[in-house]
């Protein structure tokens, strides 16, 4: 190993431990969705849901602690969150454990923001707000509770998770509106 390869500035922007954890989170989405739709292996589905949710906190914490924040990570982390939450929520809807309107709100807001982001081409992503972080925690908690409700004897958790996800969906609308305003304001300033 040369001195240059040990220098963190010599590695590509995307080659960080937090981004590897984010990639793992994104890769978990498919097996989670398949398990949910098939109604198979509820314990494994729940464990993977917990790992999915916890990894969002872990990657951000490690990025700050290790000084491995990156422009790529600032785009990749929210992308992985939004895709993961949308696919998992859709899996719960298909399996009959979550109201359709909740998934429609989440997917609709995210699609709208994605389109506006591509059209406005801001220099950087809007910074995550405290309410945005809280919304993500609320929604992921709701998804985990619905997953817990898949286990025998824990069926009441599904109802609680559904209510929490509904609150998360309403918060998603509010936060999405705030991000939309920020994106549009950035466009006006640059124009």
pTM of the model: 0.83
Tell whether 131 is covered by a domain.
Answer: yes
Q: Does any domain span residue 5?
A: no
- Contact at 8 Å (CB) between 170 and 147? no
Q: What is the pLDDT of residue 73?
A: 82
> Do the domain assignments include residue 83?
yes
Is residue 4 one of the residues assigned to a domain? no
Q: What is the pLDDT of residue 56?
A: 83
Structure tokens belonging to residue 26: 């994104």
Which helix (H) or strand (E) segment is 143 a member of?
Answer: helix 130-148
Residue 62 confidence (pLDDT) = 85
User: So what's the pLDDT on residue 1?
Assistant: 39
CA proximity to 88, closest of 145, 131, 134? 145
pLDDT at 3: 41
What is the domain extent for residue 143?
Answer: 13-190
pLDDT at residue 125, rounded to an integer: 73
Q: Is 2 a member of any domain?
A: no
- Distance from C-alpha of 23 to C-alpha of 127, rounded to nearest angstrom: 21
Q: Check residue 11 and give its pLDDT.
A: 65
Per the structure, the count of domains in the chain is 1
Q: Residue 10's pLDDT is what? A: 65
We report the CATH number of the domain holding residue 32 as 1.20.120.1760
Give me the pLDDT at residue 158, please: 93
- Burial degree of 6 (CB within 10 A; 0-12, 13-18, 19+): exposed
Closest to 102 (Cα-Cα) out of 142, 48, 150, 149: 142
Give the C-alpha separation, 4 to 178, whole Å.
43
- With a cut of 50, list the residues of the chain below it in pLDDT: 1-6
Position 7 in a domain: no
In-domain check, residue 168: yes
Q: Say if 155 falls within a structural domain.
A: yes
> DSSP class of residue 9?
G
């Amino acid at each position: 190993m040369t001195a240059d390869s040990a220098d963190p500035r010599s590695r590509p922007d995307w080659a960080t431990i937090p981004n590897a954890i984010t990639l793992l989170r994104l890769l978990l989405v498919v097996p989670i969705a398949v398990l949910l739709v098939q109604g198979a292996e509820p314990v494994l589905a729940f464990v993977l849901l917990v790992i999915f949710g916890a990894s969002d906190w872990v990657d951000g914490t490690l990025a700050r602690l290790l000084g491995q924040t990156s422009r790529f990570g600032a785009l990749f982390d929210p992308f992985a969150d939004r895709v993961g939450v949308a696919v998992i929520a859709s899996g719960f809807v298909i399996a009959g454990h979550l109201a359709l309107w909740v998934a429609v709100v989440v997917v609709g807001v995210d699609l709208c923001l994605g389109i506006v982001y591509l059209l406005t081409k801001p220099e950087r992503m809007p910074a995550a707000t405290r309410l945005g972080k809280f919304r993500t925690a609320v929604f992921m908690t709701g998804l985990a509770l619905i997953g817990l409700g898949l286990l025998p004897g824990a069926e009441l958790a599904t109802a609680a998770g559904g209510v929490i996800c509904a609150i998360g969906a309403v918060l998603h609308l509010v936060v999405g509106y705030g991000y939309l305003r920020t994106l549009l304001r950035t466009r006006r300033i640059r124009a």
